[in-house]
Amino acid sequence: MVKHLLISGASGLLGINLSLEALQDYKVYGTAHDRVVDVDNLSFVKTDLLEPDSLQRLFDWAEPDCFIHCAALTNVDLCEEQPELAHNLNGELPGLIAQETHRLGINFIHISTDAVFDGLRGGYIETDIPNPQNVYARTKLEAESAVAAANPDAIVARVNFYGWSMSGDRSLAEFFFNNLQAGKQVTGFEDVFFCPLLANDLAKFLLEMLERGLHGLYHVVGSQALSKYEFGVRLARQFHLDENLITPVSVHSAGLSAPRSPNLTLRTEKLAQDLGRDIPGVSTGLHRLSTLYQQGYPQQLRNLLVAD
Ligand SMILES: NC(=O)c1ccc[n+]([C@@H]2O[C@H](COP(=O)([O-])OP(=O)(O)OC[C@H]3O[C@@H](n4cnc5c(N)ncnc54)[C@H](OP(=O)(O)O)[C@@H]3O)[C@@H](O)[C@H]2O)c1
């Protein structure tokens, strides 16, 4: 029998790419808050996950075997402005989902972030001690602890990813691509380092982790570290765009309201070992990003968004 997979945040950057990937093997049930998506064979419902009883209604509707929780308040600066909402959605809700999935025997993946670390050192492994630097990161770490306590079988995946989104402007890759293609000057942080993974590849890893019955904390990011500036340059080269339009700047010059961690590079040996395969690096991901572009994938994604 085909298994049911419930994906919260199915309109988001990860959620939509994951939903499309999962449709090959699962009956997929997607949720979002405001936006509506229309995907063949995907059952979709709009719901505010913070409403009482919304979880119970979702479980009754989808009867899931598996649940991947992608919904979150992801705007880091908005989290500073609305710490209570960030706490409720990012910090508390995942623990409640973990409790319910444990009680009902549903396989659960909670999506966390590389930003739980202070970024002073980089190269973090799963057993390193987090030290979050802003409201977003603190609430995401709060959730990690709540999920692990409520559901020891759950997977907590710390991620960082880029890709094509339905809005066309959701990821760092789209930021560089859109501006460079329009011939516009942009800046890229030369002192913020990360290990980005293509959302489509992340989706495959998450589904494989489910299938393999893994549990516990995993770093699910790309295998190569680089600065955000370098990422822009590599993307420009991949798409034959003008890399000289990108000016390297310091994050300190950007006037961002929430403090950012400078070096969020994570190590992925645990995942590679438990899955028995290599984790893609930057070139592989950017090459696939460009193949998807040539196949018209960004436009296909935009067509899935139902106008209000
Ligand atoms: N993007 C990254 O590089 C990155 C890095 C590290 C970790 N992460 C984590 O990865 C996960 C997915 O991120 P993303 O970038 O794909 O997110 P996103 O594009 O911002 O999408 C967020 C999703 O959450 C939904 N949502 C927001 N509030 C909700 C509510 N009250 N009830 C129900 N649904 C709600 C949104 O619905 P609407 O669209 O209808 O508003 C949307 O589907 C998050 O846990 C995030 O913390 C992301």
Is the CB of residue 60 below 6 angstroms from any atom belonging to ligand 1?
A: no
Which pLDDT does position 253 carry in this prediction? Answer: 85
Closest atom of ligand 1 to 49 CA is 32
* Exposure letters 124-151 (e unless 16+ CB within 10 A, then b): bebeeebebbbbbbbbbbbbbebbbebb
Q: What is the mean pLDDT of residues 74-85?
A: 97
How crowded is the C-beta side of 242, counted as CA atoms within 13 Å?
11
- Residue located nearest, by CA, to atom 5 of ligand 1: 160
Beta-strand runs (E) in 236-279: 246-249
Beta-strand runs (E) in the chain: 4-8, 27-32, 36-37, 43-46, 66-69, 107-113, 155-159, 161-162, 186-189, 193-194, 197-198, 216-220, 226-227, 246-249, 305-306
Which pLDDT does position 260 carry in this prediction? Answer: 81
Closest atom of ligand 1 to 115 CA is 6
In the predicted model, what is the mean pLDDT of the chain?
97
Which pLDDT does position 258 carry in this prediction? Answer: 80
- Identify whether the C-beta of residue 25 lies closer than 8 Å to the C-beta of residue 7: no
Is pLDDT at 308 greater than 80 in this prediction?
no
Structure tokens at 190: 């030369």
Distance 12 CA to ligand 1 centre (A): 5
Confidence of residue 261 (pLDDT cuts 50, 70, 90): confident
Q: Which residues pair with 9 in a beta bridge?
A: none
Confidence of residue 231 (pLDDT cuts 50, 70, 90): very high
Confidence of residue 259 (pLDDT cuts 50, 70, 90): confident
Instruction: Give the span between the Cα atoms of 239 and 252, in whole angstroms.
Output: 29
- Identify whether the C-beta of residue 146 lies closer than 8 Å to the C-beta of residue 92: yes
Is pLDDT at 40 greater than 90 in this prediction?
yes
Model pLDDT for residues 165-186, shown as the tens digit of each residue: 999 999 999 999 999 999 999 9
Instruction: Give the span between the Cα atoms of 52 and 152, in whole angstroms.
Output: 25
Which pLDDT does position 133 carry in this prediction? Answer: 94
Instruction: Give the span between the Cα atoms of 78 and 72, in whole angstroms.
Output: 12
Closest CA relative to residue 31, chosen from 12, 3, 13, 53: 12
Neighbours of 214 (CB within 10 A): 18
Is the CB of residue 85 below 6 angstroms from any atom belonging to ligand 1?
A: no
Is pLDDT at 257 greater than 80 in this prediction?
no
Is pLDDT at 131 greater than 90 in this prediction?
yes
Beginning with the edge strand found earlier in the chain, give each strand of the sheet holding 216-220 in spatial order. 43-46, 27-32, 4-8, 66-69, 107-113, 155-159, 216-220
User: What is the percentage of the chain residues whose pLDDT exceeds 70?
Assistant: 100
